[in-house]
C-alpha cells in the first residue's frame, strides 16, 4: 500500500510526558509548553488530564492549564478523562475534546484505573452520553496493545475486540498504544491487521513507546498499513506511572524528521519543535530524548 500523503500528529507531551516526571512542573511552564507547540504548528495537543490527583499528582493543575492557556485558532486542546467526574471537570475548564482510555490487558486495567476492562467500558458510557449532548468529540485509547508489564504478550484479537467496543460506543478515533514499547514491526503489524478487520485505517492512530528503540520502525510499519494519525511527544517525554519499565513515547522531532524524508505533509516547523523540546527538557533538567534534537544541537 502507498504511504499516506499527509499525517496528523497528536502531541501528548503535556499529558503523557509530564504525568510521568518526578519533578513538579509549574502551571506556567505547562502553559508555555502548550503555547510553543501550537506556535510550531501542532494542531492537536493533549494538554492535561482530569484523573484523581492522588493517583497522578503531576496532572493536578490541569484545570488551571486549560483555563489560562492562550488558544490558537484551529488547535484542539484535549484532555484525558477516566470517568464522568473527570469529563465534567475537563469541560468546565475549557477542554475542546476528551479522550477515554481502556486496556487490552486486565491486570493493567486494574493497576491503572482500578477496575476491569468491562467495568471501564461501562464507566465510559455516561461520558459518551454527555459528550454527545455537548457535541464534544471523544477519542479512545487502548493501552498495552502488544505487551503488558504484568501479563506479558497480548493477543491481537483482544486488542481488536476492545478497540471495536470503544469505536462502536462512539469514539471517532482509536489510538492503539504500545504502552511498554515491546512491539516490533511484525507484532505491531499483526495487531493492526487484526484491528483493521473491524475499524478502517482512517479511524485508527498509533501511540508507540520507544522502550526497545523500535518506535520509528513501528510507525513506518503502521504508515505502510495506511495509518495516518500518529501520537508522539516532544523530547520523547512519556511513560505511564502504572506501566513498570515503560519509557518515552516516540519523539515528535524524530517522527517529523522521518516524515520530511518520506515527503509526507504534517504542517509542523521542525526547528521550532526542536526548540520546544529543548525548552521542556531544560525545565526538567534532563537531556532531550529526541535523537534529531541532539544531532541538530539547536
Instruction: Name the residues annotated as catalytic.
Output: 240
CB of 141 to ligand HMG, least distance (A): 4
Binding partner selected for residue 266 from ligand HMG, Mg ion, none, CB under the kind-specific 5 to 8 Å limit: none
Phi, psi angle pair for 14, to nearest 5°: -65, -20
CA distance 170 to 126: 12
The site for Mg ion, by CB under 5 A, has a size of 3
CB of 179 to Mg ion, least distance (A): 6
Sign of CA dihedral 230, 183, 49, 194: positive
CB of 181 to Mg ion, least distance (A): 9
CB of 297 to Mg ion, least distance (A): 26
CA distance 235 to 287: 8
Under the binding rule (CB under 5 A), the answer on residue 238 touching Mg ion is: yes
CA distance 279 to 26: 14
Interface residue with ligand HMG among 85, 184, 224, 260 (CB under 6 A) is 85
Please identify, among the stretches 24-32, 65-73, 110-118, 132-140, the one whose residues bind ligand HMG according to the rule CB under 6 A: 110-118
Under the binding rule (CB under 5 A), the answer on residue 289 touching Mg ion is: no
Using CB under 6 A as the binding rule, the residues of this chain from 24 to 83 that contact ligand HMG are 49-52, 55-56, 82-83
DSSP-derived letter for residue 16 is I
The site for ligand HMG, by CB under 6 A, has a size of 23
Under the binding rule (CB under 5 A), the answer on residue 96 touching Mg ion is: no
C-alpha cell recorded at residue 110? 486494574
Residue 58 or 270: the one with the smaller Cβ distance to ligand HMG is 58
Binding partner selected for residue 31 from ligand HMG, Mg ion, none, CB under the kind-specific 5 to 8 Å limit: none
Show contacts of 103-106: CB within 8 Å, 24+ apart: 103/142, 103/143, 103/144, 103/148, 103/162, 104/142, 104/143, 104/144, 104/145, 104/148, 104/154, 104/158, 104/159, 104/162, 105/143, 105/144, 105/148, 105/150, 105/151, 105/154, 105/158, 106/151
Q: Identify the CA nearest to 138 among candidates 153, 122, 126.
A: 126
The binding site for Mg ion (CB under 5 A) comprises: 16, 238, 249
Interface contacts to ligand HMG, rule CB under 6 A: 16, 19, 49-52, 55-56, 82-83, 85-86, 101, 112-114, 141, 143, 177, 179, 207, 240, 242
Amino acid at each position: 500500500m502507498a504511504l499516506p500523503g499527509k499525517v496528523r500528529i497528536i502531541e501528548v507531551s503535556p499529558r503523557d510526558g509530564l504525568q510521568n516526571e518526578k519533578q513538579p512542573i509549574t502551571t506556567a511552564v505547562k502553559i508555555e509548553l502548550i503555547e510553543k507547540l501550537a506556535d510550531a504548528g501542532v494542531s492537536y495537543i493533549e494538554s492535561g488530564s482530569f484523573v484523581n490527583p492522588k493517583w497522578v499528582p503531576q496532572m493536578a493543575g490541569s484545570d488551571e492549564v486549560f483555563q489560562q492557556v492562550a488558544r490558537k485558532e484551529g488547535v484542539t486542546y484535549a484532555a484525558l478523562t477516566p470517568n464522568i467526574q473527570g469529563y465534567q471537570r475537563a469541560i468546565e475548564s475549557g477542554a475542546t475534546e476528551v479522550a477515554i482510555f481502556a486496556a487490552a490487558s486486565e491486570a493493567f486495567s486494574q493497576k491503572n484505573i482500578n477496575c476491569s476492562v468491562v467495568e471501564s467500558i461501562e464507566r465510559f458510557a455516561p461520558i459518551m452520553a454527555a459528550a454527545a449532548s455537548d457535541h464534544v468529540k471523544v477519542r479512545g485509547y487502548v493501552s498495552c496493545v502488544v505487551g503488558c508489564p504484568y501479563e506479558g504478550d497480548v493477543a491481537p484479537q483482544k486488542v481488536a475486540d476492545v478497540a471495536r467496543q470503544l469505536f462502536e460506543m462512539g469514539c471517532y478515533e482509536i489510538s492503539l498504544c504500545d504502552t511498554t514499547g515491546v512491539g516490533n514491526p511484525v507484532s505491531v503489524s499483526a495487531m493492526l491487521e487484526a484491528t483493521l478487520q473491524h475499524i478502517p485505517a482512517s479511524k485508527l492512530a498509533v501511540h508507540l513507546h520507544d522502550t526497545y528503540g523500535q518506535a520509528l520502525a513501528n510507525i513506518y510499519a503502521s504508515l505502510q498499513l495506511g495509518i495516518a494519525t500518529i501520537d508522539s511527544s516532544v523530547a520523547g517525554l512519556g511513560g505511564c506511572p502504572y506501566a513498570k519499565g515503560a519509557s518515552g513515547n516516540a519523539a515528535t522531532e524524530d517522527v517529523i524528521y522521518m516524515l520530511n524524508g518520506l515527503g509526507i505533509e504534517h504542517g509542523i516547523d521542525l526547528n521550532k519543535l526542536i526548540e520546544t523540546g529543548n525548552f521542556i527538557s531544560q525545565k526538567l533538567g534532563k537531556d532531550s530524548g529526541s535523537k534529531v534534537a541532539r544531532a541538530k544541537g539547536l
